[in-house]
Structure 1
Amino acid sequence: MAPRKTERILNLTICLLVTRNYLPKSRIREIVEGYHDLTDQAFERTFERDKEELRRLGIPLQVGSFDAMFDDEPGYRIERTDFELPPIELDAEEAAVVGVAARSWRHTSVAESTRSALAKLRAAGIEPDTSQLSALEPNVTANEPAFEPLWSAVLDRARVTFDYRGRGTRTLEPWGLTSNKGRWYVVGHDTDRNAVRMFKLSRIITLPRRVSRDGAYEVPADLDLRRLARSLAPEEAHATALVAVRPGKAPGVRRRGRPLDADRLATLEIRWPNGFEVVEVGYADPAFIGEELAGYAADVVVLEPAELRAAVIERLSAVSGTRSTPRRYREPVVGVAPRQEQQS
């Protein structure tokens, strides 16, 4: 929530929590900072949204008459016994896990919820010692733009649509997010294919957009997200491709591949652009890696195998709407390794 909204919600909560009687809206408007300067219509809209926000946060509102003689104007209050947390008992290991989770989510909007959870734990008399957990701290980052809208959709069970690199527009009922080797994936029911699918967040090229109301679908009760993700993961690489990569481009290819050593480069009889680095990349599905490499356009040149090279050229030609032959470079390197300073 925005700072002003957060402050207003907090003021409203305190107001309704400390009152003994039901407060009418007119009185709430006078007491709560944040409502004073609003017009009548703006106050009505804002107050209704704030009530829904309190309910969404799990804060129960009681509605009743503030005057026993008249029941024409409802009043509101929060019953302390309904609001207070039940006793929380965590052992040392459980408290440590909470601390680890708090530290691991610091790069995302979930950090706000984490701070709120820790505040409630501390209010209950439990102090997770996060300062002693640096050795156990997981390096979980979520920098993909698609992460936050997908995370929100998972929580609300809202259907989303997005463009996926090389696969067009997809509509998904997201069941959960999982991370493997620093890469995030979303798993769910692909309504376009009527099948369970897993999508890599870094390949989602548009922000996921909601196309349904909240609670539009049910997540399988027996879902084991990690086991399902493992079953949907691509096969282990059993073939290799040689590709030339422009400096500073195609980070996914560089991360998975390994540069060819000078001895291997010296044996190549195929040409590649000056300044490009030649790397060897493993793959299992020729169609999948073909789509990926074609997505990098002129930043990646496939050298081997010939079948994959031809498939990528054909795909790029189809995109450009022209038929073309492999590009000829004016300054090719023929079987000679680039100088050391060009292999950075």
Structure 2
Amino acid sequence: MPKARTPVSSAKTERLLNLVICLLYTRRPLPKSKIREAVPQYGEATSEDAFNRMFERDKDELRELGIPLVTEQIDTFFDNEEGYRIDGREYALPELSFEPDELAVLGLASRTWAQASLAGPAAQALRKLEAAGVERDDSSVIGLEPRVRTAEPAFARAKDAVLARRPVRFAYRKARDGEVATRHVQPWAIAAWHGRWYLTGFDLDREAPRVFRLGRVEGPIAWAGRPGSYAVPADHDPLAVIRAQATDSRPVTATLRVREGAGHALRRRATATRPDPTALGWDLVELACGDTERMADELAGYAAAVEAVAPAELREAVIRRLQGAVTAMTEGAP
């Protein structure tokens, strides 16, 4: 009879999860020194021996859980240091598909994850790795966090409007120039695509169907009519409409100011790189930007090592995220 597993403390669970994040995040094996710097709980070890004992126990725990932890030589020419990573191909779950109503339920549940106590330390670990120049493996990390996110404040009211078939109005920020305008909409459906939530509906001002990303809704959504006052087309396919709009949209060129020795992942995708004539020790990096909000998420993770120069919408989106981080840290301070 297999031995019953004893409950794991929340502190240990948090430490193990942060370790998994670090080892999934990296494209190359990480030495123990980098792992100790990245995982906040390892920094609390009183000595090198204490850290080594804790790390060895954690490795055994992960392997016992079936997580494919791989040990490799960091340098193929000098076999003097071992590194660790998690094989993302072995770790990843198979592709899952859900009905729209199931996605809505999962989206609501994922808000709890976003606010969980694990989110802060995990994000801190990733920021440390990114700042240290560790090469990121995005294909592995995406399997760890929920693909469906509902952090947008507009989600709840938009969902209610869709269910009630009730017209709404809201301020909406355009993708290209960042201009904010009031929209009057008959909501048809909400759908998640590539980790973002979208509202489809009939734009009463433009007298045509439109797609709105909930992350670009500014302020609250207000009621603008009675429930049940319109009908949703029977053949409406929200995902097809969203995909069509994404295909039609053209990427813009983003200009970034990147500190020398930083932003390696950005530099690899660059279409042009040159020294910044106005700032010694910095480069101007240009790359294609097809999703301003997603790129702003990425750039904010570099903190002071990367600055968004253009377009203005990207710069403002990064500033909003950094200001939000400062506010969260201030409010969370004792």
Would you call these one fold, judging by a TM-score over 0.5?
A: no
Q: TM-score, normalised by structure 1?
A: 0.39
Q: TM-score, normalised by structure 2?
A: 0.40
Q: Which has the higher contact order (CA 8 A, sep 6+)?
A: 2
Larger Rg: 1
